[in-house]
Chain A
Amino acid sequence: MMNNKLLGKSIVIISALAALIIISALVYILLDIYIGGKNYLTWEFLTSNPKEGMTAGGIFPAIVGTVLLVLIMSIACVPIGTITAIYLSEYASKTSIFTKMIRFAVNTLSGVPAIVFGLFGLGFFIQFIGAGMDKAMYSDGRLHWGQPNLLWASLTMAFLTVPVVIVSVEEALRTVPDELRAGGLALGATKWQTIRKIVVPNSLSGIMTGAILAIGRGAGEVAPILFTGVAYFLPQLPHKLTDQFMNLGYHIYVMATQSTDVEATKGIQYATAFILLILTFSLSFVAIIIRYRFRKKIKA
């Protein structure tokens, strides 16, 4: 009996320890990266261009590039994801083949490796659509759309983040009580009117959460944009869709692995990593808070 009690205690302690290890690792990573870069974390670092062959100066263009990327991405992925979620939650019959196809696609899509999205962007957007547009619209034989650029990178990223939006929005739509729908219908509203005026407004926070999570994901991923539009260094900010752009994640990768003097730029690398981490971290923190409040509201 004593032995049993001991075994029971040790299971609880070991499992608690595992949780503790994970959380302290999380805190340690954050602190380690903060301490490594804290001397560089100034306002000027955020708002100035890289100088002296990237060994000094700031990361302004990388921030702008990342923001542009996620903006264009969300213009594409938030509406598509939201509408798909509305279909799945409001219209789809569970047994129809079409619904099963969509569900299958959403599940599959969230499991496709990021680098495969990158290849897809290169093969589809650049080599197929871009090159096709060049052939159809220009006769000078030069590359306009058939090369890596901001638009193709953003769309590639949008494809990667669509399932994030769908899952989050669908969850929110499902928590809208059926009484509200029935109330709308009973007052004579049609199904579409009920959805538009009652269901969607009641799950706006879910749509917000989906968008925020997608933006966080898009800001952090590097693999999909490696060969669809990112550049190591650009003298000026992108000002049209066919321009290449700089990116925080890619900036870290290149500086840490391919620069000639890794030691000299260590502080900049840490500071950049910290900025990116804080960006994705706070986005998903906000998303978690919104979702948590929403769940509480539904329960109450």
Chain B
Amino acid sequence: MQNKKRESKNSLSRKFRLSEFLAENTIKLVSFTSFAIIILIFVFVFREATPIFFHTEKKAVSQEFSKSESYGDESAQSSKDNYSSFSSGSEDAASFKNLTQKEWQPVSENPKYGLLPLFIGSLKATILAILFGAPLAILAAIFSALFASKRLKEIIKPAIELLASFPSVVIGFFALMTIATFFQSVFGLTYRLNAFTGGVAMAFAIIPIIYTVTEDALTAVPKYFSEASLALGATKWQTALFVIMPAATPGIFAALLLGFGRAFGETMILLMATGNAPLSSFNIFEPVRTMSATIGAEMAEVVVGDTHYTVLFFIGALLFVITFIINAIAEFYVRAKLMKRFRGE
């Protein structure tokens, strides 16, 4: 009798188990997609960039004439550079030696693929964006997490979340039309579009992410931290400044890193608002050309497979690796530290 019972139970569950098995494994298989995408991105961006590592590259068949990407005053400098280089094309292959040059002139007689000015450009714009955006975002997060009334908080939070929905092309457009004109008239700048304008515009793009992560970090500080502090007689702002803030520092650091990563990879704002001249100077009022904007501006005009194409993919691979490392640090190191601190280890 007991045997029979077990049998019927078995057969019952087995009938269901097939569909269960199918469902679970289909779901598992589909969810593998995101991992597959990462691998595919890695493989295919690097695949197109690999010819750099073996410079057997034949000389590019058609070198389209420099169609200036930059517009207005800003193009003067770069096109002058293009005409002045006329030495023989012995170093056409994108060897590492070529990549470490100090100039970026991909469409001249003797193409130069120096990544340095582009890297400096990216760094310059990103740091400016952090300098403008981070203080505003962190202060706003402090206000809405620690001081604001519930009603006020319910306005600030969604409003800044809405700012995140601004397409970067619209922010770039706003920078190009309004911010650039404003700064030029205020500071009397020679170049309307420059790193400064781009940096300020990009601050709008990173404020939401820095704000959100900082706010999360501040609200994640356990209640007993502030209760203990208040019980000891500290005021509300003393608690905020000397208890909650220090406890949330790793989170704020993570917010900054994420903002940095976001800004470093941002394309459209910089493409539209920085003037796009590949100069390696540290003057923040001169135009810059960033790594991301270079890809965006030049990829449409290169011949598939030639050196220029390969170098652009190499820049993409670099961007991928750099943002990957920054995000990984933010994700693993900082979060782990934050958790540890709250558990009091």
Contacts and interface: CB of A to CB of B under 8 A. Distances in A.
Given A8-B237, A105-B37, A124-B44, A112 B320 contact: yes
A290 B320 CA distance: 34
B142 A15 contact: yes
B27 A109 contact: no
Nearest to B328: A108
A249 B169 CA distance: 6
5 contacts: A112-B324, A114-B266, A119-B299, A223-B268, A277-B170
Nearest to B35: A105
Interface in B1-49: 16, 19-20, 23-24, 26-28, 30-35, 37-38, 40-41, 44-45, 47-48
Contact of A12 (B147, B272, B324): B147
B108 interface: no
Interface of A: 4, 7-8, 11-12, 14-19, 21-23, 25-26, 29, 32-33, 36, 79-80, 83-84, 86-88, 91, 98, 101-102, 104-109, 111-120, 122-124, 127-128, 159, 162-163, 166, 190-192, 216, 219-223, 226-227, 249-250, 252-253, 256-258, 262, 266, 269-270, 273, 276-277, 280-281, 283-285, 288, 292
Interface of B is mostly: helix
A124 B147 contact: no
A36 B177 contact: yes
Contacts of A26: 159-160, 162-163, 166
Nearest to B178: A32
Contacts of B139: 14-15, 17-19
Given A21-B136, A119-B45, A127-B48, A91 B24 contact: yes
Given A4-B235, A14-B139, A276-B170, A123 B44 contact: yes
Contact of A119 (B20, B24, B167, B313): B313
Interface residues of B, number: 92
From B237, B258, B328, name the one whose CB has the most chain A CB atoms within 10 angstroms.
B237
Given A87-B27, A284-B161, A277 B167 contact: yes
Nearest to A262: B71
A123 B47 contact: yes
Nearest to B36: A105
B27 A91 contact: yes
Contacts of A252: 169-170, 173
Given A22-B137, A191-B20, 15 more contacts: A16-B148, A26-B162, A32-B174, A80-B33, A108-B328, A115-B265, A115-B316, A115-B319, A116-B45, A119-B299, A166-B34, A223-B267, A249-B268, A258-B71, A269-B173
Nearest to B236: A8
B240 interface: yes
A123 B48 contact: yes
